[in-house]
């Protein structure tokens, strides 16, 4: 069985994640479930990034020790991942003893082989980003990443010889066009960062305590990005002696999913670290776009934050999964609002999917008491419909291969739409009026049930609970990817899977709840 190792970025354990931070785990989950459906041996890892000055400060503000603070937040993040029904295999934490030990081994090895050296650092430090900048890098005297104030700092620090590996990395990226996706990000990395030349990276801090100690100098804490990035290997059995069989099975990762803001860390620092450790590079890093609120960043200070658990209580988990997976395009940022969520639920989930399943099962019940076989009384219009069902696997695969998740969902919904059209074209209610057309009527319903069954299989990775519910109502556990001629259906009474929402009523309800 071919293996597939997929990761998300590990989330900062600095606060409750909003719906934007939650997008990535849902995206990763859809891909992981899809790969499992296609027969891959999948390992899906996520978790929390728990060290650093910012977290130390937040814990202090809260009157907690950093460990108490991250224990709570990490638990909350995991709870939200579970609310979203994500099927990760392992939830890792950077405060885990094993991880800390291996990070120390990595630091020691890099030092012993001369890739890390001690020097004096002077520069501008941005605390929220935990990054040092030079005069030239500042934008209007502020941090180029987040635009906030920076402080002048001078400290003794360990440095990593990035420039030593720069040419090898450029060559690797150019010879592996699939490595950085989407392609625009690859060009950005090469032209803006690699070609101008890499500076040695400052990889330790002495100004705070909450982190992993440098093993041979306990004044120093390992730079949070070395600590965080290493999670991808420390948790699958890596050690500096080469690692165990589990590590050999899973590494290199097949896909690192990360947001566009941290693609630089994953396509420059991380590969160079791996080269220094003499390990193969991950096969692909995908920098996904962001979810915005009316084209603005979500933030507490702007008061425009939405949380996944609140949205799930309002609309249900699969409606929110659908929204995230469908509305955030492959390259450009997506946006979210209550109005847009309701619009999507009504137009796609209720009108197209819910309606089709409900109409079909109701007719099967009404005309045949739920028992449907293929009577094979075919007419011309059937062949294009059956062809559409049979091409779904290939159409979805094409999109998934390129990680165009929203378009993969469109392929399924096009097939559902075609099924609704097939009902309008065949008019089962008219066929039901003529006794001589009974076998044709049963054939039409059989074709529709097959269409629904195949769509439900491909919906599994995206809307797992809905897919299970369709299978329950069809009383089948057949997972075939294409139209089969000899199934026997015995469907249950229909239960609506998605209801239309009265938009103004729901919006008023949400507004009233907010005021409480
Ligand atoms: N801890 C680092 C990652 C270390 S990985 C070795 C980090 N954490 S984070 O909590 O800030 O972000 C986690 C992920 O969520 C990142 O990939 C980030 O890009 C993503 N997102 C944060 N806000 C987002 C949106 N508004 N929309 C979509 N993704 C967003 O970075």
Instruction: Give me the DSSP letters along 168-236.
Output: HHHHHHHH-TTSEESHHHHHHIIIIIITT-PPPEE-EE-S--SSPBPTT-TT-EE-HHHHHHTHHHHTT
* Contact 23 CB / ligand 1 (< 6 Å): yes
Q: Which CATH architecture has domain 337-490?
A: Orthogonal Bundle (1.10)
* Contact 296 CB / ligand 1 (< 6 Å): no
* Contact 258 CB / ligand 1 (< 6 Å): yes
pLDDT of residue 126: 87
Instruction: Measure the CA–CA gap between 374 and 341, rounded to whole angstroms.
Output: 38
For residue 96, give both structure tokens.
């885990």
3-state secondary structure of 155: strand
* Contact 10 CB / ligand 1 (< 6 Å): yes
pTM of the model: 0.95
- Distance, CA 16 to ligand 1 centroid (Å)? 12
Eight-state DSSP code of residue 262 = G
Q: Are 168 and 275 in contact (CB under 8 A)?
A: yes
The CA-based angle 228-96-247, given to 5 degrees, is 70
Q: Whose CA is nearest to atom 18 of ligand 1?
A: 259
* Contact 444 CB / ligand 1 (< 6 Å): no
Nearby residues of 395 by Cβ (< 8 Å), 6 or more positions away: 411
* Contact 92 CB / ligand 1 (< 6 Å): no
- Could you tell me which residues are beta bridge partners of residue 113? none
Q: Which residues of the chain have pLDDT under 70?
A: none
- Cα distances (Å, whole numbers) of residue 480 to 375, 454, 477, 487, 512: 20, 7, 9, 11, 46
3-state secondary structure of 508: helix
* Contact 50 CB / ligand 1 (< 6 Å): no
Pocket test for ligand 1, best of 262, 297, 334 (most atoms within 8 A of CB): 262
Q: Which of 468, 466, 449, 464 is nearest to 359 (CA)?
A: 449
Whether omega for the bond prior to residue 182 falls within 30 degrees of 0, making it cis, is yes
Q: What proportions of the chain, in percent to the nearest 5, are helix, strand and coil? A: 50, 15, 35
Q: Whose CA is nearest to atom 10 of ligand 1?
A: 11
Pocket test for ligand 1, best of 230, 259, 298, 299 (most atoms within 8 A of CB): 259
Q: Which of 309, 449, 430 is nearest to 370 (CA)?
A: 449
pLDDT of residue 10: 98
Q: Whose CA is nearest to atom 8 of ligand 1?
A: 11
For residue 40, give both structure tokens.
């891959």
């Amino acid at each position: 069985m071919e293996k597939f190792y997929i990761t998300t970025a590990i989330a900062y354990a600095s606060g409750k994640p909003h719906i934007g931070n939650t997008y990535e785990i849902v995206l990763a989950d859809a891909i992981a479930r899809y790969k499992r459906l296609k027969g891959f041996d999948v390992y899906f890892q996520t978790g929390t990034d728990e060290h650093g000055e910012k977290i130390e400060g937040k814990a202090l503000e809260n009157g907690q020790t950093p460990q108490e603070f991250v224990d709570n937040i990490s638990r909350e993040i995991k709870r939200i991942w579970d609310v979203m029904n994500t099927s990760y295999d392992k939830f890792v934490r950077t405060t885990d003893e094993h991880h800390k030990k291996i990070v120390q081994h990595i630091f020691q090895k890099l030092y012993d082989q001369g890739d890390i050296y001690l020097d004096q650092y002077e520069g501008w430090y941005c605390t929220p980003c935990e990054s040092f900048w030079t005069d030239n890098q500042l934008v209007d005297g502020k941090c180029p990443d987040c635009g906030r104030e920076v402080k002048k700092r001078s400290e003794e620090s360990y440095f990593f010889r990035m420039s030593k590996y720069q040419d090898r990395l450029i060559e690797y990226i150019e010879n592996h066009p699939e490595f950085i996706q989407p392609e625009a990000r690859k060009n950005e990395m090469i032209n803006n960062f690699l070609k101008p030349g890499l500076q040695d990276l400052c990889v330790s801090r002495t100004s705070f305590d909450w982190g992993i100690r440098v093993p041979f100098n306990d004044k120093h804490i390992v730079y949070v990005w070395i600590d965080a990035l290493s999670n991808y290997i420390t948790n699958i059995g890596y050690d500096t002696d080469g690692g165990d069989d589990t590590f050999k099975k899973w590494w290199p990762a097949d896909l690192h999913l990360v947001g566009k803001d941290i693609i630089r860390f994953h396509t420059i620092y991380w590969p160079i670290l791996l080269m220094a450790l003499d390990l193969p590079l991950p096969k692909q890093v995908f920098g996904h776009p962001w979810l915005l609120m009316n084209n603005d960043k979500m933030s507490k200070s702007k008061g425009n934050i939405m949380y996944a658990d609140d949205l799930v209580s309002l609309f249900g988990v699969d409606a929110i999964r659908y929204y995230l997976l469908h509305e955030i395009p492959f390259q450009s940022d997506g946006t979210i609002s209550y109005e847009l969520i309701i619009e999507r639920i009504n137009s796609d989930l209720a009108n197209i999917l819910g309606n089709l399943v409900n109409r079909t099962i109701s007719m099967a019940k009404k005309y045949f008491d739920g028992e449907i076989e293929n009577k094979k009384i075919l007419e011309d219009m059937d062949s294009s419909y059956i062809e559409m069902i049979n091409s779904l696997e290939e159409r979805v695969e094409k999109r998934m291969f390129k990680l165009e998740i929203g378009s993969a969902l469109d392929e399924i919904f096009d097939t559902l739409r075609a099924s609704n059209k097939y009902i309008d074209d065949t008019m089962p209610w008219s066929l039901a009026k003529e006794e001589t057309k009974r076998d044709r009527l049963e054939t039409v319903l059989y074709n529709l049930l097959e269409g629904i069954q195949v769509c439900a299989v491909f919906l599994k990775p995206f809307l797992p609970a809905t897919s299970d519910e369709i299978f329950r109502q069809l009383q089948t556990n057949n997972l075939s990817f294409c139209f089969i001629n000899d199934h026997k259906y015995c469907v249950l009474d229909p239960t609506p899977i998605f209801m239309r929402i009265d938009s103004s009523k729901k919006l008023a309800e949400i507004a009233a709840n907010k005021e409480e």
